Amino acid sequence: MRSADRERVRVEVVHRVVDGYVRQARDASDGFLQRLVNDTLYQERRRLDQANPRSKRTKAELALYQDVQRRLHSAAETTVRALLEQLATRFVDEVIGNFDDRVYRLSTTLIPPGLSLLVNAMSPRRLLDLRRINRGLVDQLKVQGEVEQVRRLAQHGTVVVVPTHSSNLDSIVLGYAGYRIGLPPLLYGAGINLFSNPMISFFMHNLGAYKVDRKKTAKLYRAVLKEYTTCALELGYHQLFFPGGTRSRSGAIEQQLKKGLLGTVIRAYTNNLIAGREPARIYLAPCTISYKLVLEAEALIRSHLQETGKASYIVEDDEFSHPRRVLNFLFNLTSLDDEIAVTWSAPLDVFGNRVDADGNSLDPRGRVVDPRSYVTRDGVPYLDEQRDVEYTNELAEAVCGAYLRDNVVMSTHVVARAVFALLRRRNPTHDLYRLLQTGGDAPSFAMAEVHSEVERLLGELGREDVPRPRLSPLLLAGDVQEIVADALRHFAIYHTRPAAERRGDRLFHEHRNLLCYYGNRLEGYGLAAE
Amino acid sequence: MHSRETVGVVGAGSWGTTLAKIVAENGHEVVLWARRPELAAQLNAQRHNPQYLPQIALPAGVHATAEVQRVCETCRLLLVAVPSHGFRAVAREMAPFLDGEHVIVHTTKGLEEQTHKRMSEVLREETPVRKIGVLAGPNLAPELARGQPAGTLIASRFGDVFRRAQAALSTSYFRVFSGQDVIGAEIGGMFKNIVAVAAGIVDGLGLGDNTKAFLMTRGLNEMARLGVSMGANVLTFGGMAGIGDLVATCASPHSRNHQVGVRLGRGESLAEILGQTRMVAEGIRATRAVRAFAAQQRLQLPIVHALHRVLYEQTPLDEAMRELVAAQSGDEFMGLML
């Protein structure tokens, strides 16, 4: 964010958040603001209990909160408001961080060399191999779909890129894919743990990242974050949201999105209309990133299985925190083909309508419709929270639909799914966890069995009556033997243990968690349960 | 500040005409759309609906037209009361003149036959409108047209839809409840017609109140199971659009579906009956649509099944009845327990 805007946004965010709460307080029972401040302090202290007590930041934060707590005691209402402002300011300062304008400008032209910097930061000695990695990424990254339209819309209005999320590499891959199609730089909320990772912090700043601390659970913090993205959108900053919130733990395509962040596009659009800022166009560009192998697959599926249902679980120690694993992964990329597909879906307006080449919203039958009409009455725009919650739900549905259509299924997904289906069929009485742990009765399957199961799956994925994913070129070619061989080659090169391995004419399921993870990529297509 | 708006009523059958009358009595201007220009002209000239609601005078605020463009461009709140088989075509006609400001509350009871889609889904597919609601409840047109007290449900995901439709429709005798369960309201309104035909058959056969209560209660159960399988809230079926509408429709001599059932019970054939009535008995078509949908979803709906056998498979009434009764036993709320 440009520094002139930064100061403006900083003031505006605090003002809007605090004003919003003061308005709410008028309709609420006495002591509403006081409770809000108290709640913030409580949530923050709980968080700090888990933090490193010796870190300078923890100490500073604790001191601040103690001070606020002391002043809150028997404070007059104006003082409470001031304390709220102080806390909100502290949060917004952390979110915005201290970007350097010059670095930001530089970075917009430096994304691919940035990748080299990333690798450089990790291991200066391997500098010589940089050319190989860069070339690798160029070769391995397939950018496809509605590229031209997304690029055009970025000139007509503000674009919010909303990709699927399976890896911390996503933002880098996307930064690069965006650069390759000529997209302007994107503002992006990166997890604060990425900033504490020294090798990546510099790089994140350069991408135009702001900080998001998912451990901060206070309502006030969430409100500040939402208002920050809203303000940035109103000012026309193109953004990158991962609407699923975190990386997909199970490996499945996101079908549940975080509505809070997604909803900011509708709020920003309406705010701009009300303020008379024209043209107030904001577009969503759903985008599906498909990897044949996922860097953090093992840690993600582990946490999914451990914490099924608990979205609050945050993976900190994963493959991404180990430079050697990242390098290993990146280098392996270069040895195989067709590894990462970035597919741009047809862009949407903020209500989930498709848009044409000029950015006009289209109704379901392709007629041009004025998007302003969704938030106006007799032509006058107005805010209505309940209405916007529903619009956000409908937008989320449209985005998830795009994910399912533009997900690129690769050999690893189909083969993992096939082997897992065989496992399930062989052991009908085992529940999932027991099956994962023990592997059931048979440690291996005949290759012929695997081939025919893959064939069956490909047939199902080709059905007309259900949503269909895209298939990678190898899958489209349809040579089952080659598909299985390709998947096994991949399983062998990167993970600590291969997901499955061929010995003679039998296939051994070695790392069933991984089979489950990669196979989950085919959830949502109504595949018969084996 | 928006309490008086010009309201469009699409469809000038007995229910559409009744809605127009209620809204106009509430002090709103009403544009009432009739497909046939002759009917629109008659409505404007004679101030009553000679075909569908002959005894009821239309208030001065009702203006009939046969131009769909006019009703869409004059009105932002539209009440749609056309039969389910013509619903998509009407939605298509309206669509070019609609935008995101429009609010549509439909009162159509049925599923689309080929697609098994609900009417709100059809609206979403054909029009740019998002603010969609459904009105359903024990609302027999002739009674309401005479100003007898009644209640109804307007269900929508958008609070705005309810507020505006309520402002248009709520009178001292017509009480409007709000809900969010669009699916439940649509399924309740649709399914009660099926049960009403079956209840009519029971009456026509001369069977007693025990049998009718048995059938209606199991009918409510089937309604709820179908609805829940589509994502409805089970509580909706205990409300206006569920039991409320079911009781009224199964008991009333005004209900076309019930009438058709009575005549079937007395031994007339479906072809004979349909040849003699101008009005639409939605339950006949709904039986076919629901039967196909249930088969696809592997849902057991014995009443729908039996009625389908009678209506479309030439099964004798006593045989279908025997089968139906034999199928009823076991855990009363199977498939509905949380």
Angle between helices B182-204 and B256-265 (to 10 degrees): 30
Inter-residue contact B82 to B280 (CB < 8 Å): no
B126 and A371 within 8 Å at the Cβ level: the answer is no
Residue A494: predicted pLDDT:
82
Which residue is listed with tokens 């009456």? B203
Please indicate, yes or no, whether residues B168 and B308 belong to a single structural domain of this protein. no
Q: What range does the domain containing B273 cover?
A: 184-326
pLDDT surpasses 70 at A172: yes
β-pair type (A239-240, A158-163): parallel
- On the CB side of B302, CA atoms within 13 Å amount to 18
User: Is residue A227 in a domain?
Assistant: no
Closest CA to A410 of A469, A462, A472, A494: A472
- Shared domain check, A259 and A286: yes
Tell me whether residue B334 is in a domain.
no
Is position B332 within any domain?
Answer: no
Mutation target to probe the A interface, by most A beta carbons within 10 A, among B2, B74, B99, B117 is: B99
Q: Are residues B45 and B62 in the same domain?
A: yes
Q: Do B158 and A394 touch (CB under 8 A)?
A: no
Interface of B with A in 155-174 (CB under 8 A): 157-160
pLDDT in tens, A206-216: 566 788 888 89
Q: Does B126 touch chain A (CB under 8 A)?
A: yes
User: Same domain for B192 and B175?
Assistant: no
Q: Does B192 lie in the same domain as B112? A: no
Do B204 and B175 sit in the same domain of this protein? no
- Copy the structure tokens of residue A136: 């690798």
How crowded is residue A409: how many other Cβ atoms within 10 Å of its Cβ? 22
Amino acid type, B152: T
pLDDT of residue B1: 41
Tell whether A368 and A500 lie within a shared domain: no
B112 close to A (CB below 8 A): no
Percent of chain B with pLDDT over 90: 83
My answer on whether A428 and A398 are in the same domain is no
Task: Please name the member of A365, A386, A394 whose beta carbon is closest to the beta carbon of B130.
Answer: A394
For residues A465-490, average pLDDT? 92
Per the CB < 8 Å rule, is A387 touching B160? yes
Identify whether residues A376 and A444 lie together within a single domain. no
A361 to chain B: closest CA residue: B128
CB atoms within 10 A of CB A98: 8
Within-domain flag for B259: yes
Region B73-92: what's the mean pLDDT? Answer: 96
Tell whether A492 and A393 lie within a shared domain.
no
> Out of A364, A377, A386, whose CB is closest to B101?
A377
Which residues of B participate in catalysis according to the annotation?
192
| pLDDT over 60 at A377, yes or no | yes
**Cα–Cα distance, A137 to A176 (Å, whole number):** 9
Say whether B100 and A371 touch across the interface (CB within 8 A): yes
- Decide if A265 is inside a domain: yes
Q: Which residue among A362, A385, A406 closes a domain?
A: A406
Provide the pLDDT for residue A110. Answer: 44
pLDDT exceeds cutoff 90 at A283 = yes
| Residues of chain A positioned with their CB less than 8 A from the CB of B74 | none
Output b/e per residue, A248-279; b: 16+ Cβ within 10 A: bbbbbbbbebbeebbbbbbbbbbbbbeeeeee
Looking at the partner chain, which of A369, A377, A386 has a beta carbon nearest the beta carbon of B128?
Answer: A369
3-state SS record for A238-300: CEECCCCCCCCCCCCCCCCCCHHHHHHHHHHHHHHHHCCCCCCCEEEEEEEEEECCCCCHHHH
How far apart are alpha carbons B83 and A371 in whole angstroms?
Answer: 30
In a domain, B2, yes or no: no
- DSSP letter string over A40-97? HHHHHHHHHHHS-TTSHHHHHHHHHHHHHHHHHTT--HHHHHHHHHHHHHHHHHHHH-
CA distance A48 to chain B (A): 40
Say if A130 falls within a structural domain: yes
Q: What is the ipTM of this complex?
A: 0.91
The four Cα atoms A502, A508, A512, A518 give a dihedral, to 10 degrees, of 30
Does residue A528 sit in helix, strand or coil? coil
pLDDT digits (tens, 9 = 90+) for A312-360: 445 556 777 676 777 677 666 655 655 789 999 999 999 999 999 999 9
B142 located within any domain: yes
Shared-domain flag, residues B157 and B274: no
Q: Is the pLDDT of residue B154 over 90?
A: yes
Task: Give pLDDT, residue A98.
Answer: 59
What pLDDT score does A202 carry? 59
CATH for B309: 1.10.1040.10
* Domain-terminating residue out of B180, B196, B211: B180
Give chain A's mean pLDDT: 85
A456 within a domain of the structure (yes/no): yes
Residue B62 has pLDDT above 80, yes or no: yes
Q: How confident is the model at residue A191 (pLDDT cuts 50, 70, 90)?
A: confident
Domain boundary among B163, B180, B197: B180
Number of domains chain A contains = 2
Length of chain A: 530
Residues B232 and B282 in one domain: yes
Task: Give the distance, in angstroms, between the CA of residue A517 and the centroid of all CA atoms in the same chain.
Answer: 17
| Subunit contact A373:B126, Cβ cutoff 8 A | no
Cα of B179 to nearest chain A Cα, Å? 14
- Each residue's pLDDT tens digit, A482-521: 999 999 999 988 888 899 999 999 999 989 999 999 999 9
Same domain membership, residue A425 and residue A291: no
B146 and B17 in a common domain? yes
Å between A466 CA and nearest CA of chain B: 14
Which of chain A's residues have a Cβ under 8 Å away from the Cβ of B125?
364-365
**Alpha carbon of residue A397 to chain centroid:** 16
Residue A448: which domain range?
Answer: 409-522
Interface subset of B 127-146, CB within 8 angstroms of A:
127-128, 130-131
Distance, CA of A280 to CA of B253 (rounded, Å): 57
Tens of pLDDT, residue by residue over B214-268, are 999 999 999 999 999 999 999 999 999 999 999 999 988 888 899 999 999 999 9
**Looking at residue B147, which CATH number applies to its domain?**
3.40.50.720
Distance CA B317, CA B201 (A): 9
- Can you tell me the mean pLDDT for A185-206? 68
| Predicted confidence (pLDDT) at residue A311 exceeds the cutoff of 50 | no
Residue A375: list chain B partners with CB under 8 A: 100
Mark whether B274 and B255 lie in a shared domain.
yes
CB-CB neighbors (< 8 A) of B2 in chain A: 377
Q: Which of A129-143, A275-289, B233-247, B308-322 has the lowest mean pLDDT?
A: A129-143
Query: What confidence tier does A139 reach under pLDDT thresholds 50, 70, 90?
Result: low
Report residue A341: phi and psi, to 5°. -115, 125
Query: How many residues does this entry show for chain B?
Result: 338
Is residue A366 located within the same domain as residue A252? yes
Mean pLDDT of A114-119: 46
Interface test with B, best of A361, A363, A389, A465 (most B CBs within 10 A): A363
- Give the pLDDT score at A152: 93
pLDDT given for residue B253 in this prediction? 81
DSSP code string of B70-114:
HHHHH-SEEEE---HHHHHHHHHHHGGG--TT-EEEE------TT
Query: Do A311 and A335 lie in a common domain?
Result: yes
Of A369, A377, A387, the CB nearest to B158: A387
Same domain, A421 and A486: yes
Stronger pLDDT, A493 or A410, i.e. the higher one? A410
Counted domains in chain B: 2
In a domain, B255, yes or no: yes
Which chain A residues touch B if contact means CB-CB below 8 Å? 351, 353, 363-365, 367, 369-378, 384, 386-387, 390-391, 393-394
Domain assignment of residue B114, yes or no: yes
Check whether residue B61 and residue B149 sit in a common domain: yes
For B218, the enclosing helix (H) or strand (E) is helix B209-230
pLDDT at A109: 47
Contact A295, A167 (CB under 8 A): yes
pLDDT of B35 above 90? yes
Domain shared by B193 and B87, yes or no:
no
Cα A190 from Cα B299, distance rounded (Å): 47
Q: Environment class of residue B200 by beta-carbon count within 10 Å: exposed (0-12), middle (13-18) or buried (19+)?
A: buried
**Domain membership flag for residue A441:** yes
Say whether both A175 and A300 belong to one domain: yes
Q: Are A144 and A289 spatial neighbours (Cβ–Cβ below 8 Å)?
A: no
Measured distance CA(B304)–CA(A81) in Å, rounded: 63
Per-residue tokens: B16: 């559409």
One domain for residues B172 and B300:
no
* pLDDT of A199 over the 60 cut: no
Chain B residues closer than 8 Å to A378 by CB: 76, 101
Question: Which one of B180, B195, B226 terminates a domain?
Answer: B180
Task: Indicate the pLDDT class of residue A307, thresholds 50, 70 and 90.
Answer: confident
Secondary element (H or E) of residue B15? helix B14-25
A428 with A330, same domain?
A: no
**A367 neighbourhood in chain B, CB within 8 Å:** 95-96, 128
The predicted structure's pLDDT at residue A314: 52
A-B contacts (CB, under 8 Å) = 54
Same domain, A448 and A358: no
Which of A364, A384, A406 terminates a domain? The answer is A406
Hey, how many other C-beta atoms are within 10 angstroms of the C-beta on A289?
A: 23
Within a domain: B1? no
